[in-house]
């Protein structure tokens, strides 16, 4: 993919990558950082967007999608990674692709104390469960990193994740 | 529908015998794909006859129904049947809401409800204390939700599964008797690859 847009258009660049990779199922628990990408996916009739009650549902769903020959991706916030830990064993034991795109909270200038423990542990927890993790902390790094995450998942059959840093997304300030 | 070879039986308690229910649901399955939750449901579908269209789970507790959803969305022309236990369904109960919103016509979820955690010492689950899974599925918005207690109701369930007017949810009250293990292959990469090949042929391995 050759992005011809500015670095701030990274959600549109991710959408373009999902199309390039033939993604047909997008599982998500919403995060503000993913809102523009979610809108693009919802407007696409070739992508089935499934909102989940908890992020671990997405791991089961994308395993089922792969069984049926469809590629999928899981979008979530860093807190949701904690809801996925045991379910990651499904993709590891079956050796199936599981790309995840995670927007970080509790990472860089966080306001909410509850976001910090999981935000601080997100990469460690994913790696402890056998996931290949790459970080993107500037807008121009996001598309190449997501591309690598998708390629490594579908070419090498394992869970992979891009963590999009809070430095890119901005910290929610609650008016303070 | 042709006469079944499987005989649907009840035990000393008067409740349905799980393996006779599963055999009846899987007989003459016409390409139907089946995902079974970990523990006894995985042994049950294996006892009915291990085959590539079966995906018996060894883990991922709470995920069986959602796996069924992903598969049903990917293969809308195939029937997809999830057979799981009451404990496994309770752990992933929110997935009923997710599935209801998606409305996959080709997905059926059958819970074999013995009201106990069978693999860990027969501790009681919430269904033993009156939690009504079929009502919860109905409340989520799944159109066809059934409580199944008799052989006749199992036959009607079988017809509904094949009719493809889902999503469908059935809570089947079964005898709690523990049966001899019938273990499927444990190498899970084989389990997924054989199902993918059954659906897509050898091309599955070049995707």
* B184-206 pLDDT tens trace: 999 999 999 999 999 999 999 99
pLDDT greater than 50 at residue A3: no
What does the pLDDT look like over A91-145, one tens digit per residue?
999 999 999 999 999 999 999 999 999 999 999 999 999 999 999 999 999 999 9
Question: The tokens of B121 are what?
Answer: 């010492």
Nearest residue in chain B measured CA to CA from A95: B189
ipTM of the shown complex = 0.97
Determine, yes or no, domain membership for B9.
no
- Is there a contact between A67 and B188 if contact means CB atoms under 8 Å apart? no
Closest to B178 in 3D by CA, of B44, B76, B56: B44
* Mean local confidence (pLDDT), A29-57: 97
CB < 8 Å from A in window 2-31 of B: none
Nearest CA distance, B106 vs chain A (angstrom): 13
Interface test with B, best of A42, A48, A60 (most B CBs within 10 A): A60
What does the pLDDT look like over A62-87, one tens digit per residue?
999 999 999 999 999 999 999 999 99
Determine, yes or no, domain membership for B7.
no
Determine, yes or no, domain membership for B6.
no
What does the pLDDT look like over A108-117, one tens digit per residue?
999 999 999 9
* Mean local confidence (pLDDT), B118-122: 93
Determine, yes or no, domain membership for B133.
yes
A chain contacts of residue B65, beta-carbon cutoff 8 Å? 60
Residue B2: band (very low, low, confident or very high) from pLDDT cuts 50, 70, 90: low
* Mean local confidence (pLDDT), B89-112: 98
pLDDT at position A173, please? Answer: 74
pLDDT at position A17, please? Answer: 98
Question: What is the rounded distance in angstroms from the CA atom of residue B97 to the CA atom of residue B141?
Answer: 7
Question: What is the rounded distance in angstroms from the CA atom of residue B78 to the CA atom of residue B75?
Answer: 6
* Mean local confidence (pLDDT), A42-61: 98
Q: Is the CB of residue B91 less than 8 Å away from at least one CB of chain A?
A: no
Q: Is the CB of residue B42 less than 8 Å away from at least one CB of chain A?
A: no
Q: Is the CB of residue B118 less than 8 Å away from at least one CB of chain A?
A: no
Residue A6: band (very low, low, confident or very high) from pLDDT cuts 50, 70, 90: low
Q: Is the CB of residue A87 less than 8 Å away from at least one CB of chain B?
A: yes
What does the pLDDT look like over B74-94, one tens digit per residue?
999 999 999 999 999 999 999
What does the pLDDT look like over A152-164, one tens digit per residue?
999 999 999 999 9
Instruction: Supply the range of the domain harboring residue B136.
Output: 18-206
What does the pLDDT look like over B126-174, one tens digit per residue?
999 999 999 999 999 999 999 999 999 999 999 999 999 999 999 999 9
Distances (CA, A) of B55 to B12, B123, B145: 31, 26, 24
pLDDT at position A18, please? Answer: 98
Quote the strand ranges of B62-119, DSSP E: 80-85, 107-113, 116-117
Q: Is the CB of residue B33 less than 8 Å away from at least one CB of chain A?
A: yes
pLDDT greater than 90 at residue A11: yes
pLDDT at position A69, please? Answer: 98
Interface test with B, best of A61, A66, A80, A91 (most B CBs within 10 A): A61
Quote the strand ranges of chain B, DSSP E: 33-36, 54-56, 80-85, 107-113, 116-117, 123-124, 144-148, 168-173
Distances (CA, A) of B125 to A9, B86, B176, B181: 50, 7, 12, 21
What's the number of domains chain B is made of?
1
Determine, yes or no, domain membership for B5.
no
Interface test with B, best of A94, A130, A151 (most B CBs within 10 A): A94
pLDDT at position A7, please? Answer: 65
Dihedrals φ, ψ of B182, to 5°? -130, 100
Question: What is the rounded distance in angstroms from the CA atom of residue B15 to the CA atom of residue B154?
Answer: 12
User: Exposed (0-12), middle (13-18) or buried (19+): which is B120, by Cβ within 10 Å?
Assistant: exposed
DSSP B206: G
Residues B70, A68: contact at Cβ < 8 Å? Answer: yes
Q: Which of A25, A60, A95 sits opposite B73 (nearest CB)?
A: A25
DSSP string, B178-203: ----------HHHHHHHHHHHHHGGG
pLDDT greater than 80 at residue B30: yes
Nearest residue in chain B measured CA to CA from A63: B67
pLDDT at position A171, please? Answer: 73
Phi/psi zone of residue A44: left (φ > 0), alpha (ψ -120 to 50 degrees), beta?
Answer: beta
Dihedrals φ, ψ of B206, to 5°? -115, 5
Q: Count other C-beta atoms under 10 Å from residue A172's C-beta.
A: 16
The CATH number of the structural domain formed by A7-111+129-168 is 3.40.50.970
* Mean local confidence (pLDDT), B55-71: 98
B chain contacts of residue A60, beta-carbon cutoff 8 Å? 60, 62-67, 69-70, 92, 95
pLDDT at position B67, please? Answer: 99
- Torsion, Cα of B35, B40, B43, B44 (10° steps): -80
CATH code for the domain of B182: 3.40.50.970
């Amino acid at each position: 993919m050759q992005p011809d847009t500015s670095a701030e258009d990274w959600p549109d660049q991710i959408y373009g990558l999902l199309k390039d990779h033939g993604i047909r199922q997008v599982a998500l628990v919403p995060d503000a950082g993913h809102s523009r990408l979610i809108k693009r996916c919802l407007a696409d009739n070739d992508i089935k967007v499934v909102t989940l009650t908890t992020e671990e549902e997405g791991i089961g769903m994308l395993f089922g999608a792969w069984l049926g020959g469809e590629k999928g991706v899981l979008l979530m916030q860093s807190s949701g990674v904690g809801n996925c830990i045991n379910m990651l064993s499904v993709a590891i034991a079956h050796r199936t692709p599981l790309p995840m795109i995670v927007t970080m909270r509790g990472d860089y200038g966080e306001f909410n104390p509850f976001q910090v423990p999981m935000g601080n542990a997100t990469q460690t927890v994913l790696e402890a469960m056998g996931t290949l993790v790459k970080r993107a902390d500037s807008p121009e790094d996001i598309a190449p990193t997501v591309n690598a995450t998708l390629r490594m998942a579908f070419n090498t059959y394992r869970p992979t994740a891009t963590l999009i840093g809070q430095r890119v997304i901005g910290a929610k300030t609650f008016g303070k | 529908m042709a006469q079944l070879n499987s005989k649907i039986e009840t035990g000393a308690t008067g409740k349905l015998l799980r393996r006779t229910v599963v055999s009846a649901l899987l007989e003459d399955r016409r390409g139907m794909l089946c995902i079974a939750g970990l523990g006894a449901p995985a042994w049950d579908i294996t006892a009915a006859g291990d085959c590539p269209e079966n995906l018996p789970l060894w883990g991922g507790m709470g995920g069986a129904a959602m796996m069924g959803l992903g598969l049903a969305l990917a293969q809308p022309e195939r029937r997809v049947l999830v057979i799981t236990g009451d404990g496994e369904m309770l752990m992933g109960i929110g997935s009923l809401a997710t599935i209801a919103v998606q409305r996959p016509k080709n997905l059926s979820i059958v819970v074999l409800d013995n009201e106990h955690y069978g693999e860990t010492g027969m501790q009681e689950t919430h269904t033993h204390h009156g939690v009504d899974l079929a009502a919860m599925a109905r409340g989520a918005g799944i159109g066809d939700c059934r409580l199944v207690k008799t052989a006749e109701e199992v036959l009607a369930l079988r017809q509904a599964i094949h009719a493809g007017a889902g999503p469908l949810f059935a809570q089947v009250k079964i005898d709690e008797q523990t049966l001899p293990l019938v273990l499927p292959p444990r190498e899970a990469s084989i389990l997924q690859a054989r199902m993918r090949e059954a659906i897509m042929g050898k091309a599955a391995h070049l995707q």
